Structure 1
Amino acid sequence: MTGAATTAVLAVLILFGVTARLTRLVTEDEIAAPLRSAIGARIIRARGPRSMWIDWIRCPWCVGLWLAFAVTLGMWGAERLLLDGPLLPLPGWLWVPGLALTNNYLAARWQT
């Protein structure tokens, strides 16, 4: 593998690790339980106990999707600000959604 290919693979692995960890932090870790409880109580008051939003804050697939997009977009922006060029030799509109969805799938599978 060339240096650029190795860097791209490393970036994808870091992206996966960050998304998996953040997904677990938001959906399962004890440290985020007070935040989940506060958000859940607010949702129940506003929408009722059977709201889909209650499931959303506990579902690794749901939370992971939005976190994957946020982390992938953050990487896409950071590589343009901090590096001389993109890590992946494709336009952002092409690889950001695909990589974010792949990242979400892997992170959620890792959690379940």
Structure 2
Amino acid sequence: MPGGADIAAVNDVSFNLSAGECLALVGESGCGKSVLAGALLGLLPGNARTRGSALLSSEPGAVPIDLPAADERTLARTVRGRLLGLVPQSPAGHLTPVRTVRSQLRETIRALHGT
């Protein structure tokens, strides 16, 4: 932003998931879904700042990973595509409107995990 002004793209987000649960962020364009996902996955530009914590455990009883504080190696090897995923919106890689989102996500999970 010119003059170094800060812009708060996402505020006051809170959610808890239990083992085995899945969360999908759905909303209108510009509401902050991609910014939140990018912050959780460490994919924001270098000049972006995040505050707060986002604790993620790979399994019950495991030491949780604080996503905003995690280093690139941890995010790349442990988190991205394994514990958290992002389906970006683009003309070439969007979800097809002729199938349910559930069927498309199941297909992806089967491809990743061989189930």
Q: TM-score, normalised by structure 2?
A: 0.27
Larger Rg: 1
Higher relative contact order (CA 8 A, sep 6+): 1
Higher normalized helix content (fraction of residues): 1
